[in-house]
Amino acid sequence: MNMKRIFLFIGIALFLNSCTMIPKYTRPEAPVPSTLPSGGLYGDTPLIQGALPVADIKWQDAFPDEKLQKIIKMALVNNRDLKLAMLNVKQARALYGVQEAQLFPVINVTGGEVKKHLPADLSGTGKEATSDQYNVDLGITSWEIDFFGRIRSLEEQALQEYLSTEQAQRGVQTTLIGEVARIYFILAADYENFKLALATLDAQQSIYDMIKLRYDNGIATEMDLQRAQAQVDAAQGDIARYKQLTMQNLNVLNFLAGASVPDDLVPESQAGVKPPKDISAGLSSDVLLRRPDIMEAEHQLKSANAFIGAARAAFFPQISLTTAIGTASTEFSNLFTSASKTWNFSPKATMPIFDARTWAAYKVSKSMQEIAVTQYEKTIQTAFREVADALAVRATVDQQISAQASIVNSAEKVYELSNERYTQGIDGYLSVLDAQRTLYAAQQGLTALRLSKQANQMRFYTVLGGDTELLDVGSP
């Protein structure tokens, strides 16, 4: 009957372990407008025609270029930052398991022998005595019964910490994909500028050769010759500069990919790469809540909320239980006979009367929760600004590209006319020089604007949260 009571008490204790003193969680109101910017200067950019719906974002759809997809797959498998994020998730999951296990009793089997010698005046018989005792016990040692939810609150805190690391991993995954795409498009622009510099060098070398011939025949001045030489030198300097940028950005791409990117995957021009797909943000700012950094911040807020429950529970008694069943005998041969059975049942309650640390811990828990709320709100505000900035670029970049392309066309015609007039002796070389500089700057500006559009299309994947699920990096 006594053993039945012990097991009944343990069962009731396990049932009562489900109680907590965690405050009811309510998601804070987002400190941003309920809708994304639209209309007026923004036009209809949130609802761009033919764009991918944000709910269905997959990185393979957002970045259709086949070479880029292969590099992204390399990065998902090899990138060390992503591996560290995965290991952090693994560690947080294990820590959660450790905390969860504290809700259940630890059952141990112990066995031992006690050999005791007593002098004659203590033996009770007036003679020296030596005794042996053997025992084997199966039991629970100082198991805290979580009547007031202290352990359960800490278990919930650990769970939310684990879930936040999952979102942190998703954030690293999204950032990695976006960064690989960004560097890929920058490389394409570097090659475009490099080829432009080569073409400019050829043109400048031809002009220099022509002026040198005219100078040798006494038609051109030395000033024109030196100006032409300066343009050749400037073009050679640009070639070296774009070579350097290309090599440096290729190093960045190799670093992100975690391995050397094969030469056949490196882009060679802007025209040769497929641009990112446009993504529709929709109108509601609730779309921001799918971002991993916001979800991570909310899990951190829930973790702080759970810690308040643990701090509250510390004001109430802690109840622990030590119990065991076993056998004991002075003879080893009688250790497992029915007459040698033993048991003990020892519940214990500790009531805090005065402990300044308890009050301090409770104040800390409240401060942690307030900090987490503020951090959550700040993360939402940052996300809103990033999406609004991307929408602002989307609303204007096509107009800028169109205007810049028109400038390039005009500059080309001016350069051709200036060159022709100089050849015919109508104008001096200074007009050719000015026209060439204008054309070169306009061509570089057009390349930069095309890159800006591609980068902004890529940025929508990142600022809207990327893929909603963690990818299997073993087979991306």
The answer to whether residues 338 and 280 belong to one domain is: no
Whether residues 381 and 457 share a domain: the answer is yes
Split at pLDDT 50, 70, 90, the class of 436 is: confident
**Higher-scoring residue by pLDDT: 86, 248:** 248
The arithmetic mean of pLDDT across residues 429-438, rounded, is 86
pTM: 0.82
Asked whether the predicted pLDDT for residue 8 surpasses 60, the reply is: no
Contact 369, 25 (CB under 8 A): no
DSSP assignment of 54-70: GGG--HHHH---HHHHH
Question: How many structural domains comprise the chain?
Answer: 2
Q: Quick one: pLDDT at residue 475?
A: 45
Least confident stretch, 14-28, 79-93, 316-330:
14-28
- Specify whether 344 is located in the same domain as 402: no
Q: DSSP assignment, residue 352? A: -
| Residue 292, pLDDT above cutoff 90 | yes
Same domain flag for 216 and 271: yes
Which pLDDT score, from 0 to 100, does residue 473 have?
63
DSSP single-letter state for residue 220: S
Q: Where are the beta strands (DSSP E) in 299-457?
A: 318-329, 341-350
As a whole-number percent, the residues of the chain with pLDDT over 90 amount to 36
pLDDT reading at 476 higher than 50: no
Confidence of residue 18 (pLDDT cuts 50, 70, 90): low
Q: List 138's β-bridge partners, or say none.
A: 109, 325
Query: Are 304 and 322 in a shared domain?
Result: no
Of 125-134, 162-171, 371-380, 444-453, which gets the smallest average pLDDT? 125-134
Work out the average pLDDT over 115-138: 77
Q: Which of 210-214, 315-319, 459-463, 470-474 has the lowest mean pLDDT?
A: 470-474
Same domain, 307 and 402: yes
Question: What pLDDT score does 46 carry?
Answer: 55
Q: Is residue 303 in a domain?
A: yes
Read off the pLDDT of each residue in 362-387 and give the average, rounded to a whole number. Answer: 93
On whether both 77 and 174 belong to a single domain, the answer is yes
**CATH assignment of the domain containing 137:** 2.20.200.10
Q: Which of 18-27, 42-51, 155-164, 317-326 has the highest mean pLDDT?
A: 155-164
Query: Would you say residue 393 has pLDDT above 50?
Result: yes
Question: What CATH number should be reported for the domain holding residue 152?
Answer: 1.20.1600.10
Give the strand pairing for 52-53 and 279-280. Answer: parallel
Residue 96: how many other CB atoms lie within 10 Å: 20
Secondary structure (3-state) at 351: coil
Residue 75's Cα: distance from chain center in Å?
Answer: 14
pLDDT above 50 for 1 = no
| Domain limits for position 333 | 105-118+128-145+317-351
**CA 211 to chain centroid:** 58
Q: Residue 258 — very low, low, confident or very high, per pLDDT cuts 50/70/90?
A: very high
Per-residue pLDDT tens over the stretch 402-423: 999 999 999 999 999 988 888 8
How do 341-350 and 52-53 pair as beta strands?
A: unpaired
Q: Are 229 and 284 in contact (CB under 8 A)?
A: no
Q: Which region among 62-71, 111-120, 357-366 has the lowest average model confidence (pLDDT)?
A: 111-120
**pLDDT band for position 17 (cuts 50, 70, 90):** low
260 vs 218 pLDDT, higher one: 260
Query: By the 8 A CB rule, do 326 and 138 touch?
Result: yes
